[in-house]
A and B are shown apart, each in its own frame.
Chain A
Amino acid sequence: MDPVTDERIVPVTMPKWGLSMQLGKVTAWIIDEGDEVGIGDDLADIETEKINGTLEAADAGTVRRIVARVGEDVPVSGTIALLAPAGVTEEDLDAAVQQARAVIDAGVPEGTGAPEVLTAEAGGRKISYVGDGRDGDVVLLVHGYGGDRNSWLFLQEPLAAKFRVYALDLPGHGTSAKDVGDGSTSVLADAVVAVLDALGVTRAHLVGHSMGGAVALVVAARDPARIASLTLIAPSGFGPEINAGFLRGFADAQTRRELKPLVGQLFADEDLVTRQLVDDLLAYKRLDGVDEALHALAGALLDGDAQRGDSAALVAAVGGAVPVTVIWGAADRIIPAAQAEAVGGAIRHLIDGAGHMPHMERPGEVQAAIEQTIARAC
């Protein structure tokens, strides 16, 4: 920033949701010039190519200028609003707005874009993964059934500011090989281990969502010394209750009409289900081999309509040296939040107003919980 401009001006910037995001638009301002905001308050509805979401305030302050117009493309990190205390002059604010507008009007700079997708190999299967961030603790994000490495899009950049963050596509998902063998978490765990091996990593923090949580447990139980901490988000396998209809329905669905209500069950607020989200899931399911993989995985996760459960035993096998956190949305309609009680020795975070996808519904809280877990590791 221009040294003439007052340093008390705090920019609100277009977030980076996902490693490939380059542009976003404000579709609605929730705050007005003159409003006081606290950390975590909703500021604006943002639309990106991949997803829509609500931008939460990272700083507290008074909203003095709204910079980005509704509906215009803003590059990631571009300033969309300015917070500043009352003492900052109008002239300094105008100058800051001018600078910010120049960045927006210039568009996406050359050379930006998604980082390279890397591949590892596990049991003859190609495993895709991406990574970013600063040197330091390695964090590996493991998505759940029907997800992919982009499930973490609200968390990846913020975590990458502090850690070296990787996300993989499990077999059957994303751009990894679609063959899942018998669909067991063991096969999926092999993929996670393969990525760690390919990275040459001797110790990593694992974050696992839903089925990915069970997978993270399998990995940790095999070699607890290699895992620095475990953050489990609505993990599978901790009790018999599960929304079996969702698992099977998701594998069976062939059209947008069939898929949309199912996807809605993942969230506490169904408005988060955008057309783009459903379209992307439909395009994924139409790749060769995906529906077969999903059926195999659902078959392995379920015993009739009940959830197969050996995750508690895995926690015990991991042992007390590995800090475990379990995060659950109170309004989870896929796996009931009560199962958090079954995660022995874990610190529990129950998030009100979140469903089965707290890492998308309340990313700020999830991020904080992950950072706390990492801090507990020795």
Chain B
Amino acid sequence: MARTITYREALNEALAQEMERDESVIVMGEDNAGGAGSPGEDDAWGGVLGVTKGLYHKFPGRVLDTPISESAFIGAAIGAATAGLRPVAELMFVDFMGVCFDQIYNQAAKFRYMFGGKAVTPVVIRTMYGAGLRAAAQHSQCLYSLFTHIPGLKVVMPATPYDAKGLMIQAIRDNDPVMFFEHKALYDLTGPVPEESYTLPFGEANVVREGGDVTIVTLGRMVHTSLEAAGRLGADGVQCEVIDLRTTSPLDEDTVLDSVEGTGRLVVVDESHPRCSVAADISALAVRKAFGALQAPVEMVTAPHTPVPFSSALEDLYIPDAQRIVNAVKAVTGWTR
């Protein structure tokens, strides 16, 4: 029933439909239109990877290019949110969070609590994450675990075009600050997406593959790598249940725990570094709340504790691949005391 479009197009459509529906929605970021003050074309880029293309002309005055001043314009988006707008600001690469993190975690995240429930900060901060484009150490990190750690923020990472549109519309309508993570390697991924507007709730994980032998919990781009591994394992007779978390804050604990209660074996696949990661968080959840059901130790498949390397040879070793996931599943199924 739904036509097939890319992840990028799904995001663009979500933004356009919400901007159409609600005039308080504005978009801002570096080169979100592109060409500000330049003699050539306006809307020259529509964002560095084209996500916001076309919105500049469709919604005059509501797509703002910014100088390279993250702390000022991310802070401005946050301030504007307290004053009745619903800004969608772009932090171009999540790796740049260092220059504006205070506005996100000390201001936006804390207003409602610090001000005794009297503030509403409906800001969405979209950001690109993830390795695979040889963009090297300062343009390839995941970092969503840092934001997941902060009370007052919501953290979202869609894995498919259908999820991207529904979660973006939900993020814009949500009255809390949302960090919206887009994996740069997923922009060209295609999938069925309804033309109409729809929302997906936060805190609802998606069981993308059912299976009774092993639970694989994962997120973002690793959902696809996990499905690849699950396909190979299925041919060998090991049926994996693959769970896409979709949002790490709020987190759907029930779906994870229900699955682990059923399979007794858990592998967590997370592209980020292992220390204080989402992988560690989910592992601890299973050990604390499903200990009786576990038949083997939890396995984590993550990047190593290193910055992201540049050379293709190294970056391909850095990013978890299907074989490593297969190995981890075999480790939990083959484990004996």
Contact = CB atoms under 8 A, between A and B. Distances in A.
Q: In the complex they form, do A and B come into direct contact, defined as C-beta atoms under 8 angstroms apart?
A: yes
B198 A175 contact: no
24 contacts: A20-B1, A148-B1, A150-B1, A174-B1, A175-B1, A175-B195, A175-B196, A178-B196, A254-B201, A255-B201, A255-B204, A275-B207, A275-B210, A283-B162, A283-B194, A283-B198, A286-B166, A286-B199, A287-B194, A287-B196, A287-B197, A287-B198, A288-B197, A288-B198
B36 interface: no
Interface in B106-128: none
Contacts of B294: none
Contacts of A148: 1
Nearest to A20: B1
Interface string A263-294: 00000000000010000000100111000000
B136 interface: no
B200 interface: yes
Among A20, A286, A287, chain B packs the most CB atoms within 10 A around the CB of A286
A282 to B, nearest CB: 9
Contacts of A275: 207, 210
Nearest to B197: A288
A148 B194 CA distance: 15
Contacts of B162: 283
A286 B194 CA distance: 11
The size class of the interface chain A forms with chain B is: 10 to 19
Nearest to A169: B1
A286 B200 contact: yes
Contacts of B194: 175, 283, 287
A254 B200 CA distance: 10
Contacts of B198: 283, 286-288
Interface in A314-340: none
Closest 9 CB pairs of A and B: A288-B197, A287-B198, A286-B198, A287-B196, A286-B199, A288-B196, A288-B198, A175-B1, A287-B194
Contacts of B200: 286
Interface in B179-200: 194-200
A254 B204 CA distance: 11
B81 to A, nearest CB: 23
Given A287-B197, A288-B198, 10 more contacts: A20-B1, A174-B1, A175-B195, A255-B204, A275-B207, A275-B210, A283-B162, A286-B198, A287-B196, A288-B196
A345 B1 CA distance: 38
B285 to A, nearest CB: 19
Interface in A336-363: none
Nearest to B169: A288
Interface in B151-209: 162, 166, 194-201, 204, 207
Contacts of A178: 196
A255 B210 CA distance: 17
A134 B197 CA distance: 36
A208 B59 CA distance: 44
B305 to A, nearest CB: 37
A317 to B, nearest CB: 35
Contacts of A174: 1
Contacts of A286: 166, 198-200
Contacts of B195: 175
Among B1, B195, B196, B197, chain A packs the most CB atoms within 10 A around the CB of B1
A28 to B, nearest CB: 16
Contacts of B207: 275
Interface string A243-262: 00000000000110000000
A252 to B, nearest CB: 14
Interface string B194-229: 111111110010010010000000000000000000
B306 to A, nearest CB: 39
Nearest to B196: A287
B130 to A, nearest CB: 26
B277 to A, nearest CB: 27
Contacts of A20: 1
A130 to B, nearest CB: 10
Interface in B43-99: none
A287 B193 CA distance: 11
B153 to A, nearest CB: 23
Nearest to B194: A287
Nearest to A290: B198
Nearest to A178: B196
Interface string A158-198: 00000000000000001100100000000000000000000
A288 B201 CA distance: 13
Nearest to A149: B1
Contacts of B199: 286, 288
Contacts of A175: 1, 194-196
Interface string B218-254: 0000000000000000000000000000000000000
Nearest to B17: A288
